[in-house]
């Protein structure tokens, strides 16, 4: 299984009053990484042409440490097609470049498992589109 790495820089706006990244922002970082694996234009075209889009129906996140303003993170993603209707994304946020000396490079901050499915314009479950399944297979083949 291939691993995709998506870099994220932590800005002041990403943090809460304590100076640590607000917990919900990791879902945004994970979403951006998934979009780069699947292809931004492929997702735009899929929705425009067929009305089909992805929905997250299950998200399990474990928070281990917090990123801070100035950090650079690597979002690592692995993906499997679990069935004709479900793709599972295993994602990790790691501190790639710490902003502060007391933080460790490579430190695992958050790990998550997100299950995605596709729905049509009427919000009815539909199989994952062939081009998406083929794209995931090509990604995993390297």
Domains of the chain plus CATH, in order, are 4-141 (3.10.129.10)
Please state the pTM of the whole predicted model.
0.93
Active-site annotation holds for 16: yes
Distance (Å, rounded) from C-alpha 83 to C-alpha 94? 29
Average pLDDT over residues 69-74: 98
Residue 56: its pLDDT value, please? 96
Of the candidates 16, 45, 120, 134, the residue annotated as catalytic is: 16
pLDDT tens digits, residue range 79-128?
Answer: 999 999 999 999 999 999 999 999 999 999 999 999 999 999 999 999 99
Give tens-digit pLDDT for 57-71. 999 999 999 999 999
Distance CA 88, CA 57 (A): 10
Closest by alpha carbon to 124, among 38, 34, 51, 44?
Answer: 51
């Amino acid at each position: 299984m291939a691993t995709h790495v998506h870099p994220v820089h932590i800005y002041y706006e990403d943090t809460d009053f304590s100076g640590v990244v607000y917990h919900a922002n990791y879902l945004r970082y994970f979403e951006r990484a998934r979009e780069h694996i699947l292809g931004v234009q492929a997702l735009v075209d899929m929705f425009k042409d067929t009305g089909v889009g992805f929905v997250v129906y299950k998200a399990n996140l474990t928070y281990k440490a917090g990123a801070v303003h100035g950090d650079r993170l690597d979002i690592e993603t692995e993906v499997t097609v679990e069935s004709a209707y479900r793709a599972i994304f295993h994602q990790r946020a790691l501190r790639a470049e710490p902003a502060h000396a007391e933080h460790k490079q490579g430190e695992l901050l958050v790990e998550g498992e997100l299950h995605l499915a596709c729905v049509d314009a009427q919000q009815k479950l539909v199989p994952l589109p062939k081009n998406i399944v083929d794209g995931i297979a090509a990604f995993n083949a390297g």
